[in-house]
Structure 1
Amino acid sequence: MRNLAKFEIIGRIGEIKAGNGVVHLKIAANYPYKDENTGEWADDTYWNRVAIFREGTRNYIADKAKVGDLVRVEGRLRDSSYEKGDETVYTVDRIVDQFGILAHAAERAD
């Protein structure tokens, strides 16, 4: 049996940042909740930062993806750390293995 730690996010792109050999995306995922005061349903938006290293996927994003596009990403989780001053900062990175555009921002109906 294979062991794994993976994630899946369906949401809208809020930011695209290309770097040296990596593209970082911020993707908004909305979680519905019922407001205790009003009884109305509302969305709690959480911004997920993901990293894309594969050259083909980075090129596809550069050519096709725009802020506001609805996307589906899937990948693996990786623990890492870095030094900041005298402290070690621990992070969990979301490394994208699969990327797809579900709807372009121009097609947005809401």
Structure 2
Amino acid sequence: MKSVNRFTIHGNVGSVAAFDKSTRVNIATNRNWRDEQGVAKEATDWVQVTVLEEKQAAWVAENAKAGDVVFVEGRSATTHSNAAARRSHSTRRARVRTAWSD
């Protein structure tokens, strides 16, 4: 059976790292729900997006600014942190590798 590794993110730019053949962008997405008592709750999830295509990465680093609303599609890539392993607990971070769209 074939599988699909695809993310679609619609959110707000939080920060953009400097361009160096790729660019990392932090994007905030919001969740809203009601708890068991009917109280409205809200949470913000942060997704780190890595723009790999060099031309797009340069454009994103130059033009994307905090607060911009973006729509991004890409694939997930999970990494393991060796630094966290030295602290006696393991950390996994999901990242989205993408072509950029605004």
- Do the aligned partners of residues 45 and 57 (structure 1) sit closer, same or farther apart at CA in structure 2, a change above 3 Å counting? same
3-state DSSP class of the match of 2:17?
Answer: strand
| Structure-2-length-normalised TM-score | 0.76
Partner of 1:106: none
Higher mean displacement: 14-23 or 87-96: 87-96
Indicate if the aligned counterparts of 2:51 and 2:57 stay in contact, CA closer than 8 A: yes
For 1:29-108, list aligned pairs within 5 A: 29-34=29-34, 39=38, 41-84=40-83, 85=86, 89-97=91-99, 99-101=100-102
Aligned length: 99
Q: CA deviation at 1:48?
A: 1.2
Give unpaired runs (5+ residues) of structure 2. Answer: none
Which residue pairs with 1:27 in the alignment? 27
Change (3 A) 1:63 1:19: closer
Structure 1 portions without partners, runs of 5+: 102-110
Q: Following the alignment from structure 1 to structure 2, what is the Cα–Cα distance between the partners of residues 21 and 63?
A: 13
Counterpart amino acid of 2:74? G
